[in-house]
Chains A and B, each alone.
Chain A
Amino acid sequence: MTRRTRLIVFAVGAIGVGAALIWGTAGAPPFGHYRGPYGDVFNRRAVPERHATNVINAITFDYRGIDTVGEEFILFAAVMGVTVLLRRQRDEATPRRGDGDRPPWRPSDAVRIAALTLLAPAVLLGLYIVAHGTLTPGGGFQGGMILGAAPLLVFLAGRTLLHPRRDPMGPLEFGEGLGAGGFVAIGMVGLIATGAFLENVWPLGRIGSIFSGGMLPFINVAVGLEVGAGLVIALYEFREQTLLRGRG
């Protein structure tokens, strides 16, 4: 259909969607007066039951953990999709191995200094956010993305972490599988012990210490590993694309 037809159809659809949205939100409780009992139950009972002060983390990985397992596997499948879609085609080749592993540009001194200076604080921040996920805002997902940014900083500075000839995909894929499988394995422990998947049967610890929350710190680490490795794999595939040259 032409652009004009598409615009007209969109206008009609937009009016319908807008009316439905306004009518729907008019039936919701007025803004600022959240009524529902579900959130209050969690706020009251998460700390005594699980000894975890970050209620959101306890909900994501413990009370509603099965949803998070599903979302984590969406992430896993998306990274796998990126790897499959960007595989080397039959009519593409890397340039000569001599200069093919350095980025085709030379970064300026300011970028190099800034990236290499921020590298250690970024790794430390990522590890901190993953480890303290049960206590303060943070957790596996956010900390994993910050950890995945560390190789990105190295790439921006124009260097490589490992020797350029070595393919980093092996350890990365192992790390990602370990993270995803670790989450399911921890859930299986709960299944074997009490018959409910992801039941928290680990020792709970003192409120406010790092090892509180039972299995929560371990799940945070597993998810952080998986998200970080997945992000680095996706970025690495994209970067490899910029180094390929088409043949003909």
Chain B
Amino acid sequence: MLPYLLAAWLFLVGLYGVTTSRNFIHLVMCLSVVQSSTYVLILALGYRVNATAPISKDVPLGTRAVDPVAQSLVLTDIVVGVVVTALLLSLALQIHKRTGTLRPDDLHVMEG
């Protein structure tokens, strides 16, 4: 039960950071906290007590192992997440160039 609570806590805390942020760079980093909550949830769903990692080098075939599919999903997810963060940061940079501000509250008007 405990990692599921941790995942829910991280998700809500990160979402609180995103909604009440006053700076775009701060917002992007809170978004990465939200992403990490999904990693914890997926890995916790695949965990098995007293089991080992699913690498069978020098280990007899048939030992208890945790779920490898969950780890495969999370592993590519982490790397792709960082590159998408680079994209978001370049968006923030362009916003600062055009409007001179980094506060999300000042950008509610779309001008032609």
Q: Which residues of A contact B (CB under 8 A)?
A: 3, 6-7, 10, 14, 17-18, 21-22, 25, 28-34, 36, 38-39, 42-44, 46-48, 53-56, 59-60, 64, 67-68, 71, 74-75, 78-79, 81-82, 85-86, 89, 135-137, 139, 141-142, 144-145, 208, 227, 230-231, 234, 237-238, 241, 246
B55 contacts A53, C-beta separation under 8 Å = yes
Interchain nearest-CB distance for A238 vs B (Å): 7
Interchain nearest-CB distance for B61 vs A (Å): 6
Residues of B46-97 at the interface with A, using a CB-CB cut-off of 8 Å, are 46-49, 53-57, 61-62, 65-73, 75-77, 79-80, 83-84, 86-87, 89-91, 93-94, 97
B90 contacts A81, C-beta separation under 8 Å = yes
Q: Which chain A residue shows the least CB distance to B2?
A: A31
Give the number of chain B interface residues (Cβ < 8 Å): 52
Interchain nearest-CB distance for B62 vs A (Å): 7
For B5-46 the 0/1 string (1 means CB < 8 A from A) is 101100110011001100000000000000000000100111
- B46: A residues at CB distance < 8 A: 34, 39
Q: Which residues of B contact A (CB under 8 A)?
A: 1-5, 7-8, 11-12, 15-16, 19-20, 41, 44-49, 53-57, 61-62, 65-73, 75-77, 79-80, 83-84, 86-87, 89-91, 93-94, 97, 105
List 26 A-B residue pairs with CB atoms under 8 Å apart, sorted by A's residue number.
A10-B16, A10-B19, A22-B4, A25-B8, A31-B3, A33-B49, A34-B66, A39-B66, A42-B54, A47-B56, A54-B55, A55-B65, A71-B76, A71-B80, A74-B80, A75-B80, A78-B84, A78-B87, A85-B87, A86-B94, A136-B57, A141-B75, A141-B79, A144-B79, A145-B79, A230-B83
Set A7, A18, A74, A79: member contacting B8, Cβ < 8 A: A18
- A34: B residues at CB distance < 8 A: 45-48, 66-67
- A145: B residues at CB distance < 8 A: 79
A60 contacts B72, C-beta separation under 8 Å = yes
- A21: B residues at CB distance < 8 A: 4, 7-8, 11
- A10: B residues at CB distance < 8 A: 15-16, 19-20
